[in-house]
Amino acid sequence: MKKIFIKRIGAYLFDFIIVAIIISIITMKFTNSNKVIDELNNLIVGVNNENITMKEFSDKMTILNYDYQKSTVPLKIVNVLVNFGYFVIFATLNKGQTLGKKVFKIRVVNKDGKSPSIWNVLIRSLFLYGILLGIINIVSVNICNAKTFSHVNTIFDYVSYIFIIICFFMVSMRKDSKGLHDLMAGTNVIGEEK
């Protein structure tokens, strides 16, 4: 495997942990929807005891998921803002480096090899770090009914997963180590000069 690929994976995981810690600290006082979780447990018990059919289970599950997703909108907003702040603003201000990229001695550059603009960083981050998916989720749960939201959410989740898988394989196999997000944003990840 290429050295830059290993460094990119290491930086990605390092940054993921940093962002998860930040989000956890900010949201630790948020309350969970225990009512929805209790209803979900009762629903599962009902299926196990054969008191409800799979069709009833599916219909009720769609509503419960919708209610749960609505109850977690504040958490999703924090998630989007922290990811935007860290992966877009912080990385732009630090000339294409997050803390993970700094530790692993790599950085994002534009197609000219210079520090990326905020637009370069935003475009590569929208898909890669779930910012766009979070925004779509927040908007759709607030404007769609439960069934439509379920379909929209499922479609965009799959698109997001496929995008990340494509990026992973492109970065690992291409000679220039560019992922789909790099091609879209006009960026590349390079080793830091010594």
One pLDDT digit (tens) per residue for the chain, 194 residues: 588 899 999 999 999 999 999 999 998 887 666 777 778 777 777 777 777 777 888 888 888 889 889 988 999 999 999 999 999 999 999 999 999 999 999 999 999 999 999 999 999 999 889 899 999 999 999 999 999 999 999 999 999 999 999 999 999 999 988 999 999 999 999 998 65
**What pLDDT, on the 0 to 100 scale, is given for residue 179?**
92
Q: In whole angstroms, give the CA distance from residue 7 to residue 11.
A: 6
**What pLDDT, on the 0 to 100 scale, is given for residue 81?**
97
Query: pTM of this prediction?
Result: 0.86
100 within 8 A of 12, measured Cβ to Cβ: yes
**What pLDDT, on the 0 to 100 scale, is given for residue 14?**
97
**What pLDDT, on the 0 to 100 scale, is given for residue 101?**
96
Length, in residues, of the chain: 194
**What pLDDT, on the 0 to 100 scale, is given for residue 49?**
76
Give the DSSP letter of residue 191: E
Across-strand partners of 118? none
Across-strand partners of 187? 110
Q: In whole angstroms, give the CA distance from residue 79 to residue 24.
A: 10
The tally of CA atoms less than 13 A away on the side-chain side of residue 190 is 15
Distances (CA, A) of 30 to 16, 23, 26, 27, 33: 21, 11, 8, 5, 10
**What pLDDT, on the 0 to 100 scale, is given for residue 19?**
96
168-187 b/e (C-beta count within 10 Å ≥ 16 → b): bebbbeeeebbbbbbebbbb
Beta strands in the chain (DSSP E): 106-110, 187-191
**What pLDDT, on the 0 to 100 scale, is given for residue 193?**
65
